[in-house]
Amino acid sequence: MTDRMEHIGSSLIQHGEHSERIYLMKVAPADCPEIVDELDALACREGYSKIFAKVPVSVSQDFLDNGYRAEARVPQLYQGREEGVLLGKFLCSERLVERKPELVRDVLAKAAVQDDEGSQALPEGVELRPLNESDVEAAATVYKEVFASYPFPIHDPRYLRDTMRDNVRYFGAWHKGRLAALASAEMDRGARHAEMTDFATLPSFRGKGLARILLTRMEHAVRKDGIRTAFTIARAYSYGMNITFARTGYRFGGTLRNNTQICGQQESMNVWYKPLS
């Protein structure tokens, strides 16, 4: 089960029972302030417990005046100039309570003390290259093995192919012809930012730094496409991914509480960002 994507006016949202929320992924300023009430109405009809919105700071007040709180901020998220605000509106008290506060604090503490170790060598026998449409079956197989559930249908080769044709660039690490790890850069060329996401490494290849190597490769690639800011929304309970981003020069932007259904449970997510220009 995955949530669905659709439009309200010219704005893009994702919503459904999977994460029990609405995610305003891309807001059209012309839809404001009316979209705030439309999101409320949709959440009420569907019985969702959270509305999550990623918006430029210039339209954020419409949301803050309607009960949203700023959970994270990313400087220069839009066109390399305007700050982005990640907002949450909690529609039930239970969703507001962090279930694992000590773990969230410890993950951030461990990430904070990680020094940048410089470039990391590619393990022997591993080749990095962008994925193409002929690789979608292999990619879906890796995602099925790594994630019991995920907020987007990355288990479906058709979804991977469609996004590959649109705005997502996938990169993989291959060992003897087998896909061992992959990740993606979801680009918003108009806003000139990219979300570094969908990291997955097969268990037998973990501990070799492949996620960090893929991240660095993706940064180089999207910078050539005019992307000025990279960011990620990483699982707040995952030591590995938070340390990976901290080591690669990303800065912590905030925690999205009980935000996403992933790996079979609802989890909080940490926002990290890095200027690329």
Per-residue pLDDT for the chain (277 aa), expressed as one digit of tens each? 568 999 999 999 999 998 999 999 999 999 999 999 999 999 999 999 999 999 999 999 999 999 999 999 999 999 999 999 999 999 999 999 999 999 999 999 999 986 665 557 889 999 999 999 999 999 999 999 999 888 899 999 999 999 999 999 999 999 999 999 999 999 999 999 999 999 999 999 999 999 999 999 999 999 999 999 999 999 999 999 999 999 999 999 999 999 999 878 899 999 999 999 8
- Taking CA atoms, 275 is separated from 203, 236, 250, in Å, by 31, 21, 8
Of 181, 207, 212, nearest to 196 by C-alpha is 212
Is pTM beyond 0.85? Reply is yes
Rounded Cα distance between 216 and 32, Å, is 36
13 CA to centre of own chain: 14
What is the rounded distance in angstroms from the CA atom of residue 217 to the CA atom of residue 209?
Answer: 13
Q: Which residue segments constitute the domains of the chain, with CATH numbers given? A: 4-96 (3.40.630.30), 101-275 (3.40.630.30)
